[in-house]
Amino acid sequence: MQGYSGLFWVCSQSNRCYKLTSFLVGIGYSYSLCFRVYLAGKGSYTIAKELNRDNIPTIRNAQKWNDSVVKELLQNPIYEGELLMQKTYTTEVLPFTKKRNNGELPMYSIKENQPAIITQQQAERVREIYAYRRIQMGVDDSGKYQNRYEFSSKIICKECGGIFRRQKIYIGKPYEKIQWSCITHIENIKKCKMKAVREGIIKNAYLTMWNKLVSNYSEILYPLLESLKSLRTSQEQEVQIFELNNKITELTEQSRILSRVVQKGYIDSAIFMEQQNTLNVQIEEYKKRRNALLDDNGYEKEIDGTNRLLQIIKYNPVIMEEYQEELFTHTVDKVLIGKNGEITFRLINSLELTEIITRG
């Protein structure tokens, strides 16, 4: 972490030890706060901006917080108490250089290696949201954005099925506006009569819809979740999934015990890595079999999406006063525009909620 090299001398002076300890604990709290606000719907760019505003020290040698630094923190398993070994390696030929391990060599993890500032459940949810956001924002394997705006490729015309395109109107005027228009209507008005919709109208409709959902989620989402679970699998599939989950739990516990054993020096690190790798392979195999069973039932996407919505509302339960791009991106799959003045939000669990809109 930046700026730590000159701090540790104060431990030799008892009257300053407490201040240093409080400082470090405060940093740990700030880092855990990053995870909590990310789970609440804020994006990495917004989090970085707020950390810089509050003068929170950065990780490693970064001069200031930015989008990539926050993403590195969110994806680092060390904050859930895990030590990842062999993240870097040194080349075997001259000139010897240290490189980041991008799959050239196997990496090994030691669970519960140090105190955690977040739970494993929170870390898993962060990774899921992170992966989902990459898909929603159109990030390809090279890490570049295919969609520049949060509404890109999401707004669909109910009349013809066409995708809405972003347009600027009154360009250069003080009252310049953004609107979204059906691409079919743009190309041939005779094939689609759908009128354009102002961006502000869509944002206000989402704000109204979300606040209604937050106010009534217990009557909407929990019953929906229970219904989906009851429809999800047959009794035979439930038994198989239950057995696979037990095996995964058992092997995960063995992995944790093995980590504690190697920490105490009871086994050689080479033997540990070999056994740990074997356990990881078995766990992944059981997970693949379990996920294959879940994918066959046709409701896993809806169940997972409903759980995501409940998690977001849990960390952000208040009525929202202003539209938030990050929240929209995390919660909405598609926006359906109808010609009779309605806008329908298809959420990430396939639930559709409609608001009547006024075009402008």
**Which residue do the tokens 């059981």 mark?**
286
Cα of 170 vs its chain's centroid, Å: 37
**For the residues 5-17, what does the mean pLDDT come to?**
36
Reply yes or no on whether the pLDDT at 200 is more than 80: yes
Residue that is last in its domain, among 30, 57, 79: 79
The count of structural domains within the chain is: 2
pLDDT of residue 109: 57
Indicate whether 274 belongs to any domain. no
255 within domain boundaries = no
Distances (CA, A) of 301 to 228, 289, 296, 339, 355: 10, 17, 11, 29, 24
CA-wise closest residue to 336 among 325, 350, 346, 321:
346
Mean pLDDT (the chain) is 77
- d(Cα 188, Cα 200) in Å, to the nearest integer? 25
Q: Which two tokens stand for residue 90?
A: 């040194």
* Residue 329, in any domain of the structure: yes
pLDDT tens by residue, 96-127:
566 666 666 666 556 665 567 778 788 888 88
What pLDDT is attached to residue 63?
Answer: 72
DSSP states along 220-277: HHHHHHHHHHHHH--HHHHHHHHHHHHHHHHHHHHHHHHHHHHHTTSS-HHHHHHHHH
Domain boundary among 79, 108, 123: 79
Which pLDDT value is given to residue 223?
Answer: 93
- pLDDT, one tens digit per residue, over 40-70 is 777 787 788 888 888 877 765 667 788 788 8
Q: For residue 345, give the 3-state DSSP assignment.
A: strand
- Among 8-12, 80-84, 307-311, which stretch is predicted with the lowest mean pLDDT? 8-12
**Which of 291, 292, 304, 293 shows the shortest CA–CA distance to 228?**
304
The residue among 56, 46, 47, 113 whose CA lies nearest residue 79 is 113
Position 141 confidence tier, pLDDT thresholds 50, 70, 90: very low
| 213 and 322 both lie in a single domain | yes
Same-domain pairing of 75 and 172: no
Amino acid at 258: L
- At residue 306, φ and ψ (nearest 5 deg) are -65, -40
In a domain, 173, yes or no: yes
Question: Which are the contacts of 346, defined by CB distance < 8 A and separation ≥ 6?
Answer: 332, 333, 334, 335, 336, 352
Give the number of other CB atoms < 10 A from CB of residue 159: 16
The residues with which 108 forms a beta bridge, in sequence order, are 85
Specify if 291 maps to a domain.
no
pLDDT tens digits along 150-160: 898 899 999 99
Residue 346 banded pLDDT, cuts 50, 70, 90:
very high
Residue 349: predicted pLDDT: 92
Kindly calculate the radius of gyration of the chain based on its CA atoms and give it in whole angstroms: 25
Is 244 part of a structural domain of the chain?
A: no
Any domain includes 115: no
What's residue 336's pLDDT? 96
Q: Is 84 helix (H, G, I), strand (E, B) or coil?
A: strand
- How much is the pLDDT for 315? 83
**207-217: buried (b, 16+ CB within 10 Å) or exposed (e) per residue?**
bbbbeebbeeb
Please give the model's pTM, rounded to 2 decimal places: 0.50
Are both 56 and 168 inside the same structural domain?
Answer: no
311 and 213 belong to one structural domain: yes
State yes or no: cis peptide before 77, omega within 30 of 0. no
Q: Are residues 73 and 164 in the same domain?
A: no
* Distance separating alpha carbons of residues 16 and 24, to the nearest angstrom: 13
Which of 44, 79, 114 terminates a domain? The answer is 79
On whether both 205 and 319 belong to a single domain, the answer is yes
What range does the domain containing 219 cover?
Answer: 155-227+303-356
Q: Which residue has the tokens 């250069």?
A: 172
Non-local CB neighbours of 96 within 8 Å, separated by 6+ positions: 90
Tell me the per-residue pLDDT of 208-260, one tens digit each, with 9 for 90 and over. Answer: 999 999 999 999 999 998 888 777 656 677 778 778 888 888 888 888 888 87
75 and 166 share one domain? no
What percent of the chain lies above the pLDDT cut of 90? 23
85 in any annotated domain: no
